[in-house]
Structure 1
Amino acid sequence: MKVRTRYVESRGCGWGPAAYAIAIAFSLFSTAGSVAAQGLPETVIGKAQIYDGVTFDLIQDGGRYRTATRIRLEAVDSCELRQKARLGNVDWPCGAVATAWLASRTLVKEVECRPTRVIPGGGYRALCYVDAIDIAALGLGQGMYVLAVSKHEDPLPGYAEIEAKAKAASAGIWSSNFMTPADWRRANGTYNPLSPQRW
């Protein structure tokens, strides 16, 4: 990986699906105790209303009333909705692509999320699944997501390996030059025209 003034470039090849199962097993084991200690709900289940590549509301239909719980995927990040990447001499909307990817994986499907922490302002960071598939791990493997950068926490077990293989394969975003999402937000703000609020 080469870093050039906040942009990332990567080359390489090949990876297999076995790391998904490892990531799921380790992520569930590593977060179980923390969730119980924080008094978080064990699961939140509903249909996803997508705001960007890693942020959505889970809609629960309770008959006369409909509730929405804000969710942000744990341990991963994606291009912001307005963000672009560059492949060759062409800019492409990596944020819109990541958002569309998440929508395509979750539209009208039941999404099960297991909260890991509370987000200031309401909602949860969570590990989320569709048809028992870890959405974050799948997105990392297809180059839709990058690992969320934290000075205080290590990546979830298995996730770093999945991202490394996506980089080596030049999958998704790793085919292009792009500003890391955290740096892009610092430079351009967090305004998202799809979302009523953004952290």
Structure 2
Amino acid sequence: MKVRRLYFFVALATLALPSPCRPADTLGPEAEAYAPTSPPLARTIVGRVAVIDGNTLWFSRAAMKVRLAGIDVCALPQWAFDPKRYEKSPVLKPVPCGALAKAWLKRTTGDQEISCMPAKIDSDGAFIGYCFARGRDIGAEMIRFGWARVGYPSLPSYASWQRHAMAARSGMWAAYVLDMGEWRAKAIDQTLQRKPIADFNLMAERRLEISPPFIDARRRPAQADR
């Protein structure tokens, strides 16, 4: 009889011990705390958005960040420069290409519902995918109006839209603009307090020339002093 009672208390003690299962296997409120926050990549994200920068959207209700696939844009602190000289000034007029890219993306998205199809996840946890507003590809619109350039990989139609935008000198293609990858690699100060002179200096030691005004400047005949 004593042996039976001993086994009974051992069984009770065993049941009272915490389960060795992993948190992800737990049922009830604990399971919700450890539930994965990222949806499968096949899921379409739909909702109104806030614009973070020229190619990043924030879905507040879903608490998800989506970066537009297939394009690259000026970073928010990046400056370009107007090739036209005003009042014979030797200093080129700065153009806030990063801020203008963000403004154009805000204009494109507006207050309407945006749908995004995530294709992969970026290193910072943001989704990367193609997004649409009223059936129109937002990335293609950014390229078409000259506030984004083709990134890789991208859709075949993007290259065609970029050629049209460059030929028309639309958006940033009307300015001297430093290659975005080169800017990210060389710009030490990447805060919103960055001054135009910092990008002017980077432009002087540029490795790549991506915008038409560079070509125009080389074709322009040299002025001779009389």
TM-score band (shorter)? Answer: 0.5 to 0.7
| 1:50 counterpart residue number | 51
Which whole-Å CA distance do the structure 1 matches of 2:190 and 2:41 have between them?
Answer: 28
Which whole-Å CA distance do the structure 1 matches of 2:108 and 2:129 have between them?
Answer: 17
Structure number, greater radius of gyration: 2
Report the alpha carbon displacement of residue 190 of structure 1 after superposing the two structures with TM. 8.3
Q: 1:68 aligns with which of 51, 63, 84?
A: 63
Extract unaligned runs of 5+ from structure 1.
1-38, 61-66, 194-199
The 3-state SS of whatever aligns with 2:48 is strand
TM-score of the aligned structures, taking structure 2 as reference length:
0.60
- In the alignment, structure 1 residue 104 sits paired with structure 2 residue 99: no
The 3-state SS of whatever aligns with 2:156 is coil
| 2:11 counterpart residue number | none
| 2:76 counterpart residue number | 81
Give the number of the structure with larger relative contact order, counting CA–CA contacts within 8 Å between residues 6 or more apart.
1
- In the alignment, structure 1 residue 184 sits paired with structure 2 residue 187: no
| 2:28 counterpart residue number | none
The 3-state SS of whatever aligns with 2:118 is strand
Call closer, same or farther: CA 1:192–1:122 in 2, change over 3 Å.
farther
Report the alpha carbon displacement of residue 109 of structure 1 after superposing the two structures with TM. 1.3
- In the alignment, structure 1 residue 173 sits paired with structure 2 residue 168: no
Extract unaligned runs of 5+ from structure 2.
1-39, 84-91, 193-226
The 3-state SS of whatever aligns with 1:71 is strand
TM-score of the aligned structures, taking structure 1 as reference length:
0.68
- Please say if residues 42 and 119 of structure 2, whose CA atoms lie closer than 8 Å, have aligned partners that are also in contact: no
Q: Deviations over 1:138-195 (max 9, x none)?
A: 11010010012x4xx4x321111110111111111111110011111111258466xx
Call closer, same or farther: CA 1:80–1:190 in 2, change over 3 Å.
farther
- Please say if residues 143 and 149 of structure 2, whose CA atoms lie closer than 8 Å, have aligned partners that are also in contact: yes
- In the alignment, structure 1 residue 113 sits paired with structure 2 residue 112: no
| 1:159 counterpart residue number | 158
Give the structure with the higher percent helix: 2
**Stretches of 4+ aligned residues off by more than 4 angstroms:** 189-193
| 2:132 counterpart residue number | 129
Q: Deviations over 1:95-121 (max 9, x none)?
A: 000001111222321110011111223
| 1:196 counterpart residue number | none
Which whole-Å CA distance do the structure 1 matches of 2:69 and 2:98 have between them?
Answer: 18
CA RMSD of aligned residues (A): 1.7
